Amino acid sequence: QRGPDRRPGAGAGGGVRAMDYTIREERLTPAEYIDFLKQTDLGSQYPKERFEERIGILVRKAAISLTARGADNELLGVCFCITDFAYWLFITDLGVIRACTGRGIGKALVRKALEIAGGEKNIIMYTCANENAVPFYEKIGMTRPHDMMVYDHAEWTPFTVE
């Protein structure tokens, strides 16, 4: 297991206060992740069907599970990914609490996930982004793929974690 990755926050301009946070590989409990979702905009990306059961599977089995924690150990950001550690990385979940967006935490989580998966010279990174997140992903250098196929027969009733 890799040690903690300590970074100063990336608060450049715009009156955003820089902050310190630590990125580390860490498994959250389902309850911790659900509480985190309530403080982010990720809470509307999940279906209602078997929500708690499926969150439990997600937090236990994601190949890469990263957290960003503040100096007081407050959970500021989360990144879950699946990968083969040779060719590709798929970001399933990336979120930062609303009070800390725009401070470089999401970018640092993505950078660390890509490093763990095998680095940018070896790994193609994908995600499914909601329209509000597209500008963030474009800013970090991602583009819309033309080579993806989807098989989607899952039960999916939209709701928001509150």
pTM > 0.75: yes
Question: Mean pLDDT over residues 109-125, rounded?
Answer: 97
Query: With the C-alpha atoms ordered 82, 113, 13, 38, is the resulting torsion angle positive or negative?
Result: positive
- pLDDT per residue over 28-53, tens digit each? 999 999 999 999 988 888 888 899 99
Residue 89 has pLDDT above 80, yes or no: yes
- pLDDT per residue over 68-81, tens digit each? 999 999 999 999 99
